[in-house]
Structure 1
Amino acid sequence: MGGEKNEKITKRFNYLIDLPVKVNQFSEEEFTAKPKDKWSKKEILGHLCDSATNNHHRFIRIQFEEKPFVVVPYKQNDWVSIQDYQNIETNDVIGFWTAINRHIVRVISKIPEEKLSYICEVGNDKFFTFSELIDDYLRHMDHHLTQIFGTSES
């Protein structure tokens, strides 16, 4: 993935990947507090690990599977619940988050330019290009990190 857009995406990924290190600004109580019927900050970070796992597979498979690539959704609440992020050591969740996203940055940096226009079907007769799917992943990550840490920086 070349050019100015790649640099911008890589810069944004690297900023977002390093953000969870700032978890120490919260007490363990603040980080694990569960608002009624919502995820704790810790579970939101766990959800982002699940999102990274699912998108990692998509970003690989889009490059060689039949087109249009069909993006299969996953049951986010079930993933968070079954993996029990609430009771995992915070440093383990951060380590998983950091490792999977650093790997995704490597994968994205190797995508040939011509593959970025591959079409992905995301459901309800909606279609994104591969490039748009990567952008959507970044927006999703940014949204949830803002929920945890407040206003994000560029």
Structure 2
Amino acid sequence: MKDEIARLHAWIKEVPSKLQAFEEPELALRPQPGKWSKKEILGHLCDSALTNLQRFVRAQHEPLPYKVLTYNQDQWVERMNYRNLPSGHILNLWVVLNKQVAEVIANIPDERLLHSCRIADGSWVTLDWLVTDYVDHMEHHLNQIFRPFE
């Protein structure tokens, strides 16, 4: 988990300065109908952090196997109104949530990382896998924001 925590901390440090390179209208612009704006992608990552904080705590303490919570991502982005919020508001939320995610991950005992979890498609994974998948997912979306043409 040290690698995942280091990756989280690196992004927490890097994202604020990188986001400042964009003007607010550019952050709110949807590249095409049905696609999220950069602000909405960052907001989606806030929703992901909120959801995964619960997963990471529940998977340690609820009866096993833990059934992973799911959510409708598009509805959350819409209901949270990220497109119309100031980017600084969304950024602050993202930073605070991911600092907490890193804290929770850092305190998961090794034996609990092996706890069984059942994901939406019916597959079995471990809590360790969920943590790695969270960071990979976050990096995928941050790359959509900051390196959209690579």
Question: With structure 2 as the length reference, what TM-score do the two structures score?
Answer: 0.93
Structure 2 residue 139 is matched with structure 1 residue 142: yes
Code of the aligned partner of 2:117:
C
Q: Which has the higher mean CA deviation after the structures are superposed, 31-40 or 16-25?
A: 16-25
Question: With structure 1 as the length reference, what TM-score do the two structures score?
Answer: 0.91
Count of aligned residue pairs for this structure pair: 146
Q: Which has the higher mean CA deviation after the structures are superposed, 28-37 or 135-144?
A: 28-37
Q: Which has the higher mean CA deviation after the structures are superposed, 37-46 or 18-27?
A: 18-27
Please list, as runs of the form range in 1=range in 2, the aligned pairs for 1:33-112 lying within 5 A after superposition: 33-35=29-31, 36-112=33-109
Shift of 1:118: 0.2
For the Cα contact (< 8 Å) 2:51–2:69, is it kept in 1?
no
Question: What is the CA–CA distance in structure 1 between the aligned matches of 2:14 and 2:44, rounded to whole Å?
Answer: 15
Question: What is the CA–CA distance in structure 1 between the aligned matches of 2:105 and 2:95, rounded to whole Å?
Answer: 15
Question: What is the CA–CA distance in structure 1 between the aligned matches of 2:127 and 2:28, rounded to whole Å?
Answer: 35
Code of the aligned partner of 2:5:
T
Structure 1 residue runs of 5 or longer lacking an equivalent are: 1-5
Q: Percent sequence identity over matched residues?
A: 39
- Aligned match for 1:25, one of 21, 25, 33: 21
Q: Secondary structure at the match of 2:35?
A: coil
Question: What is the CA–CA distance in structure 1 between the aligned matches of 2:9 and 2:121, rounded to whole Å?
Answer: 32
Question: What is the CA–CA distance in structure 2 between the aligned matches of 1:115 and 1:125, rounded to whole Å?
Answer: 21
Shift of 1:138: 0.6
Partner of 1:128 in structure 2? 125
- What is the Cα-based RMSD across aligned positions, in Å? 1.1
Code of the aligned partner of 2:21:
Q
Shift of 1:89: 1.3
Code of the aligned partner of 1:137:
Y
Structure 2 residue runs of 5 or longer lacking an equivalent are: none
Shift of 1:123: 2.3
Q: Secondary structure at the match of 1:58?
A: helix
Question: What is the CA–CA distance in structure 1 between the aligned matches of 2:12 and 2:135, rounded to whole Å?
Answer: 11
Shift of 1:105: 0.6
Q: Secondary structure at the match of 1:63?
A: helix
Shift of 1:34: 0.9
Partner of 2:6 in structure 1? 11
Question: What is the CA–CA distance in structure 1 between the aligned matches of 2:128 and 2:118, rounded to whole Å?
Answer: 13
Question: What is the CA–CA distance in structure 2 between the aligned matches of 1:8 and 1:23, rounded to whole Å?
Answer: 24
